[in-house]
Structure 1
Amino acid sequence: MKMRNLVKEKLEKNGYVLGAFVASGSPTNAEILGINNLDFILIDMEHAQTNMETIVDMVRASELYGMAPFVRVYNPVDGPMMARMLDVGVHGLMIPMVETPEHAKYIIDNVKIAPLGKRGIGVGRGPRWGWYEDYNRGECNDNTYTIMQCETRKGVENIEEICKTPGLDCIFIGTADLSQDMGCLGDMKNPEFINAIDKVLKSCQKHNIIAGIVTGSVEEASMRIKQGFKLVTIMNDLGFFRSQSKKLIDAVRGSIS
């Protein structure tokens, strides 16, 4: 059996992919998003309580519907933890707060096997207990998706060198953290912030790296895709549930007052 990279396949077919952060730790939510034809999810371990056992169930629920399950790791300098995430079968990783080419190289060392990296050979769920026959012969290097987040001024300053990292698939802009680090939290129209976004996008395009970004509305997602971003998140499952449930509750209360 051959390992597949679902996101690369969908990028080639459609030109962009849509995803969601899943902070609930819910395999059911993952399954519902897969049923709804979402392209990928980012299982959030940086800002959520999800544990390793739950991740495996969320991966299985995603795979059932052809949706790629990624994990955003909680410690950007814990390489062995990143390797373990891949060993349990996630399709790729998002690493927050990448600011230097040295950090980028460290990440690749820990998520790729030789000759690209130094990750140990796995025999567990990652290679599906040997079902992926060529997993440890380099197949995992080609099909494990590696996303590094640009979230600081320093990351923007070094983006050109970071984008040269062999094995890197995607740079993903965390707009909230980046705008906060630039002193304009939430101001998406700040000229310096706009220039930073443009610099990252152009560096990605120059080095054939997929550019990704977080969005919060239909209009913003559409705008970013037309701008050239190809890996776009459109929601956080818990944020969506909070906002939509409040809208319904307020509407019902308003209708009887």
Structure 2
Amino acid sequence: MKMQNFVKETLEKRNYALGAFVASGSAMNCECLALNGLDFIIIDAEHAQTSTETMVEMARASELYGMAAFARVYDPGDGPMMSRLLDVGIHGIMVPLVETREQADMAIQYMKFPPLGKRGANGGRGPRWGIYEDYARQANENLYVIMQCETRRGLENIEEICQTPGLDCVFIGTGDLSQDLGYPGETGHPEVAAAIDKILAACQKYGVVPGIVTAAPDAAVARIKQGFQLVTCMNDQVFFRTASEQRIQQVRRGADA
């Protein structure tokens, strides 16, 4: 049996993949997003409460409809958790706050099998209890590695980070990046915009997929047109809050008129 890399397949067909952060811990939300044709989700273990057991159910729900389920770990030094999440069948890992090539290399050590890394052999859900043929090779080729550039120091070292063997994508966290540059939330500020352009150019130079977070349809479209290929367009909890607020207020306005 062979592994699939849903995002790589999507990028070959369309040159971009559309995704969402899922902070709710809801497998049903994942299934709904997959049914709606989303390409990938990022299960947030950095800022949300989701447990490993819940992540397995979220990954299963995603797989039903060909959507990739990635997970964001807590920090660049969280290597054992990276290995564990891959062992239970998560399709790839997002590593936040990567600032140096050394941090990038260390993360790869935990996500790749020898000779690329030192991830330990296992017989769990990752290799589907032995069903996947030549699992170590297939995992090294197909499990997706995303590293976030979201600080001034990461920006300074972006070319070195982009040359990390085994890296698939550099993803810009615009909130943390703008904050670290001294312009919290001002993603259109000239210095922040220049930083985003620099990261995008480094990715394109070294053949790394450029990714970025957005929170609105027009922003997602603009980033795709700009050249970003892995783009998130929502956080499921924020989307539910704002959409439910709009619905409630719409009904109240009509009822009270």
* Structure 2 length-normalised TM: 0.98
Q: Give 3-state SS (helix, strand or coil) of 1:59's partner.
A: helix
> What is the identity, as a one-letter code, of the residue corresponding to 1:173?
I
Structure 1 residue 139: Cα displacement = 1.1
Contact kept, 8 Å, 2:22 with 2:41, in 1: the verdict is yes
* Structure 1 length-normalised TM: 0.98
Specify the alignment match of 1:139 in structure 2.
Answer: 138
- Residue deviations 1:73-95, cap 9 Å, x none? 12320211110000000000001
Specify the alignment match of 1:83 in structure 2.
Answer: 83
Specify the alignment match of 1:163 in structure 2.
Answer: 162
- Residue deviations 1:89-112, cap 9 Å, x none? 000000100000000000001100
Specify the alignment match of 1:97 in structure 2.
Answer: 97
Specify the alignment match of 1:13 in structure 2.
Answer: 13
Q: Give 3-state SS (helix, strand or coil) of 2:121's partner.
A: coil
Structure 2 gap ranges (5+): none
> What is the identity, as a one-letter code, of the residue corresponding to 2:195?
A
> What is the identity, as a one-letter code, of the residue corresponding to 1:59?
A
Q: Give 3-state SS (helix, strand or coil) of 1:225's partner.
A: helix
- Residue deviations 1:7-38, cap 9 Å, x none? 00000001100000000000000000011010
- Residue deviations 1:25-74, cap 9 Å, x none? 00000000011010000011111110011011001000001000000112
Identity of aligned residues (%): 62
Contact kept, 8 Å, 2:75 with 2:97, in 1: the verdict is no
Within 5 A, what are the aligned runs for 1:117-132? 117-132=117-132
Specify the alignment match of 1:226 in structure 2.
Answer: 225
> What is the identity, as a one-letter code, of the residue corresponding to 1:19?
G
2:210 is the alignment partner of 1:211: yes
> What is the identity, as a one-letter code, of the residue corresponding to 1:74?
Y
| Aligned length, in residue pairs | 256
Structure 1 gap ranges (5+): none
Q: Which runs of 4+ in 1 moved over 3 A?
A: none
Specify the alignment match of 1:59 in structure 2.
Answer: 59
Distance 2:78 2:253 in 1: 50
Structure 1 residue 256: Cα displacement = 2.2
Distance 1:125 1:13 in 2: 28
2:234 is the alignment partner of 1:235: yes
RMSD of aligned Cα (Å): 0.7
Q: Give 3-state SS (helix, strand or coil) of 1:256's partner.
A: helix
Specify the alignment match of 1:44 in structure 2.
Answer: 44
Distance 2:187 2:167 in 1: 27
